[in-house]
Amino acid sequence: MSERPLMVIPQPTLKRLVVYHQWLKQLQERGRDVVSCTVLARDFKLDATQIRKDLEIAGIAGTPRVGYRIDAVIASIESLLGWTNVNDAFLAGVGNLGAALLGYERFTRQGVNIIAAFDLDPAKIGTKIHGKPVFSLTKMAPLAQRMKIKIGILTVPAPAAQTVADLMIAGGIEAIWNFAPTALQVPEPIVVESVSLASSFAVLLNQLQHQRHKTT
C-alpha cells in the first residue's frame, strides 16, 4: 500500500470510520465480500454522500454498481487509524477501570499494547494483572525513557492525575489517554485525549429523556 501524506482527520469522520470498521468486520464474518454505499447508509441511518466522503478521506473508492470490497475498506481504515502498527503503552493506576483496560484484549488489534502498569499500592506492586506486570510508580518515568514508550494511559483518581501525568511527560511520554475525571495541563507538543465516562452517560440519559418526552 502506498504511503499517503499524514493528515488530520476530522474527529466526527474518525469516529464514524471506527463504527464502519466494526460493522464491516461483522459483515465479513457473515461471509459478505462487498457492500454498497446505499446499504451502509441504510444500516447507519446516514446520508450516502456522507459515507462516500468519509471513505474518500480514508483513500477508499468504490466501484460503480458494485460497491466497496469489504476487505479493502477494512485494511484502509486500519492503516489510516494506525492500527497496523501496534503502539506500546504504559498504564498508571490499576484500580477497577485500569485493571479492566489491562484485560481488554481487543486493544491490541486496535493499535494499543499495554506492556506494563504502575501503582502506589504495595498490595498491587509486584503482581501481574491480566498478565501485565504492575510496578511501583517510581519506576514509570525511568522505564518509559529506557523503553522509549510514547503513550500513557491514566486511570488514577482525579486528585493524583496531574502529578502522574507530569511523571509520564518526564519519562518522555508524548500522548496521554486520560480517563481521570479532571482536566490536565500539559506543555506543547504533548497531546491529551480525555475520556469522560460521565459526559458520555449524560449524553445517553439526555437522549433517553428526549425520547420519553417525544412519546408522552
Task: Give the interface with ligand ATP as residue ranges (CB under 6 A).
Answer: 92-98, 119-121, 124, 137, 156-157, 160, 164
Per-residue cell: 72: 479493502
Cα(18)–Cα(81) distance, integer angstroms: 8
* Minimum CB distance to ligand ATP, residue 54 (Å): 36
Q: Are 166 and 160 in contact (CB under 8 A)?
A: no
Category of 7 on φ-ψ map: left (φ > 0), alpha (ψ -120 to 50) or beta: beta
* Minimum CB distance to ligand ATP, residue 160 (Å): 3
* Minimum CB distance to ligand ATP, residue 2 (Å): 43
- Residue closer to ligand ATP by CB (options 9, 97) is 97
* Minimum CB distance to ligand ATP, residue 158 (Å): 8
Per-residue cell: 52: 462516500
Cα(38)–Cα(215) distance, integer angstroms: 30
- Residue closer to ligand ATP by CB (options 61, 170) is 170
Sequence-distant (≥ 6) Cβ neighbours of residue 44 within 8 angstroms: 16, 19, 20, 23, 51
Q: Which residue is nearest to ligand ATP (CB)?
A: 95
- Residue closer to ligand ATP by CB (options 86, 97) is 97
- Residue closer to ligand ATP by CB (options 85, 96) is 96
